[in-house]
């Protein structure tokens, strides 16, 4: 018997909270949101949702979370920006317990569709050495040479999803997220990603009158950044699709870190002296999303202009920081 209950694992996180809110807006009423954090630390706590604090590294917690669920979005992971994942490889690897136990529980309870949030960190390092890169296509994950720790966990968990589909008939879908950003996210504390970190640093400079900014690396490294609304649309479309293989979910609008600082300076109306920290974690030199497959399957790709998404993100972070002062 099919169930309309939707489980969002990692629902207390940035993407998970936005996903729960979007599902509610679309009229879904039977939603369970699960996260390891106490509810007071969730990014969003939505009314009308079954909100549970559970440690999904534990098998019994996964069985409780998936009971009676027809659809599972597994976004749960111990992760953060480059500063976190380069210095916490063991913690990132331990997230393999979450997806392993979630898949086992989903099979046990007859879950109909299971979504796994993977990452562009699965891509081979030797494909990302040049800032003037060729966009990464899905096949570039092999031969395997992913980001140490976090990337290996994601790649292994992708294979788990594949084999649970092949061996047990569990319908699994996998998206490789490329740098998701937007309002209601982490912007300080060590787990924030580049868009939020740069917004925070520019705002701090503007508020303090000290017009300089620290940049990790030489600023020439290239990235693409996906706005949260595109992530939500793509995630739900991929889960509902017939796409069997892991697929990129990211913007193809490439920018250097220096270019990202330019955008935020323009939004803020300031110009800052740049101090480059060449010993700080900076990740690969170049990474961008090849969207050929998602265009083929869904006739769509993430298309929010970076300038527009960054402006919304900047103003939200500015409001949060202004409240603190």
Phi first, then psi: give them for residue 69, nearest 5 degrees: -85, 140
Given 123, 150, 177, 314, the catalytic residue? 150
Q: At what angle do helices 306-324 and 257-268 cross, to 10 degrees?
A: 60
Determine contact, residues 32/5, Cβ cutoff 8 Å: yes
> Strand, coil or helix: what is 150?
helix
In 3D space, the residue among 90, 94, 92, 95 whose CA is nearest the CA of residue 80 turns out to be 92
Q: Which tokens in the block code for residue 48?
A: 């009308």
Q: Which residues contact 98 (CB under 8 A, 6 or more apart)?
A: 9, 56, 57, 62, 74, 76, 77
Residue 186 phi, psi (nearest 5): -75, 130
- Cα separation of 31 and 17, whole Å? 12
Mark whether 150 is an active-site residue. yes
**Class of residue 91 by CB neighbours under 10 A (exposed 0-12, middle 13-18, buried 19+):** middle
Cα Rg, the chain, nearest whole Å = 19
CA dihedral for 255, 256, 261, 262, sign (positive or negative): negative
Q: Cα–Cα distance between 180 and 43 in angstroms, integer?
A: 15
**Residue 32, C-beta contacts closer than 8 angstroms, at least 6 positions apart:** 5, 6, 7, 8, 11, 49, 50, 52, 65, 69
**Helices marked H in the chain — which ranges?**
14-25, 59-66, 82-85, 89-93, 96-108, 150-168, 194-208, 228-240, 257-268, 292-298, 306-324
The catalytic residue positions are 150
């Amino acid at each position: 018997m099919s169930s309309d209950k939707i489980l969002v694992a990692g629902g207390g996180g940035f993407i998970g909270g936005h996903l729960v809110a979007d599902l509610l807006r679309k009229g879904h009423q039977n939603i369970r949101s699960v996260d390891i954090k106490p509810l007071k630390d969730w990014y969003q706590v939505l009314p009308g949702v079954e909100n549970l604090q559970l440690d999904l590294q534990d098998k019994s917690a996964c069985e409780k979370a998936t009971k009676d669920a027809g659809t599972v979005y597994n976004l749960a992971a111990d992760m953060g920006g480059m500063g976190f994942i380069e210095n916490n490889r063991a913690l990132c690897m331990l997230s393999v317990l979450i997806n392993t136990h979630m898949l086992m529980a989903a099979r046990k309870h007859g879950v109909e569709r299971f979504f796994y949030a993977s990452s562009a960190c699965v891509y081979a390092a030797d494909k990302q050495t040049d800032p003037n890169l060729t966009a990464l296509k899905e096949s570039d994950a092999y031969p395997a040479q992913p980001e140490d720790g976090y990337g290996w966990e994601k790649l292994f968990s992708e294979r788990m999803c594949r084999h649970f589909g092949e061996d047990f008939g569990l319908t699994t879908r996998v998206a490789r997220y490329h740098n998701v950003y937007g309002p209601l996210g982490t912007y300080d504390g060590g787990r924030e990603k580049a868009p939020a970190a740069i917004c925070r640093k520019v705002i701090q400079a503007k508020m303090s009158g000290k017009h300089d900014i620290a940049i990790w690396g030489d600023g020439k490294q290239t990235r693409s950044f996906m706005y949260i609304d595109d992530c939500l649309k793509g995630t739900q479309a991929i889960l509902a699709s017939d796409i069997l293989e892991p697929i990129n979910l990211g913007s193809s609008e490439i920018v250097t870190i220096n270019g990202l600082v330019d955008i935020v300076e323009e939004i803020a109306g300031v110009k800052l002296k740049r101090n480059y920290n060449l010993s700080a974690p900076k990740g690969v030199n170049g990474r961008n999303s090849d969207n050929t497959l998602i265009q083929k399957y869904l006739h769509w790709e993430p298309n929010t202009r970076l300038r527009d998404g960054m402006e919304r993100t900047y103003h939200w972070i500015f409001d949060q920081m202004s409240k603190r002062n």
